[in-house]
Amino acid sequence: MHSEFVIFLFLALATIGGAGGVALSRNIFWSAMGLLSCLVGVGGLYVLLSADFVAITQVLVYIGGVLVLIIFAVMLTSQIQDINVSNRSMGLVGGCVIFLIVATMLSFVAIWAPWKLTDKAPVVDTTVAIGNGLLGTWLLPFEIVSVVLLATLIGAIVIARKEVKSDD
C-alpha cells in the first residue's frame, strides 16, 4: 500500500508540474513538454485506478496523436516565444486569482462532499468488459462517435484544402 502511495505522489507531481509548465511557461515548446509530462502522469493515474485500457488509449491517442499534432503546430507557426504584450502581469494576476478560486473551491467540494463509495472490487479484465460494453450497452454512442470522427476527417480536409486554393 505504501509503495502505491509513493507512486501516486510521483505521478501527481509529474501531472501537476506538467500542467503548471503548460500554464506558466513563456516558451510554447516547453509548454508542449509540460503537456507531455502531464499526459504521462494522468496515464499513470489511470493505471492506479485499475483502468489499464484507458491508460493505454491515453498513451496512444494523446501522446502519440494529439501531442505530436500540437508539436507540429508549434513548429509550423514558429512563434516559439510569447513576445509583445504590455499588460501581461495584470492578466497573469487575474488568471492566478481565478486559478486559486476555482482550484480551492473544487478541492473543497471534492473533499467535503459525502460521496457514496462503492465496495465493489475493480474490474480486473477491463479490455474484455469494455469491448463487450462498446458492442452492447454503448453501441449507439459508439456509432455516433464514429460518425463524429468521419465528420472531423472531412472537416479537417476541407479546412486544409481551402487554404491551398486561396494561395493559387
- Which residues ranging from 38 to 97 are in contact with other proteins (CB under 8 A)? 38-39, 42, 45-46, 48-51, 53-54, 57-58, 61-62, 65-66, 69-70, 72-74, 76-77, 79, 82, 84-85, 88, 91-92, 94-96
The cell numbers describing 115, all together, are 460521496
3-state DSSP assignment of residue 26? coil
Asked if 10 interacts with other proteins (CB under 8 A), we say no
The answer to whether the beta carbons of residues 82 and 26 sit under 8 Å apart is yes
Residues of this chain, 89-148, that bind other proteins according to CB under 8 A: 91-92, 94-96, 98-100, 102-103, 106-107, 110-111, 115-118, 120, 122-123, 126, 129-130, 133-134, 138, 141, 145, 148
Please enumerate in sequence order all residues whose Cβ is within 8 A of that of 19, keeping only pairs 6 or more positions apart, or say none: 34, 38
Asked if 1 interacts with other proteins (CB under 8 A), we say yes
Query: Positive or negative, the Cα torsion across 146, 147, 151, 157?
Result: positive
The cell numbers describing 65, all together, are 496523436
From the list 78, 66, 15, 10, the residue with the least C-alpha distance to 41 is 15
Q: How far is the CB of 122 from other proteins (least distance, A)?
A: 6
Q: How far is the CB of 29 from other proteins (least distance, A)?
A: 10
Per CB under 8 A, the list member of 10, 139, 143, 152 interacting with other proteins is: 152
Per CB under 8 A, the list member of 135, 139, 163, 168 interacting with other proteins is: 163
Q: How far is the CB of 75 from other proteins (least distance, A)?
A: 10
Which phi and psi angles does 26 have, rounded to 5°? -85, -20
User: Cα–Cα distance between 123 and 133 in angstroms, integer?
Assistant: 13
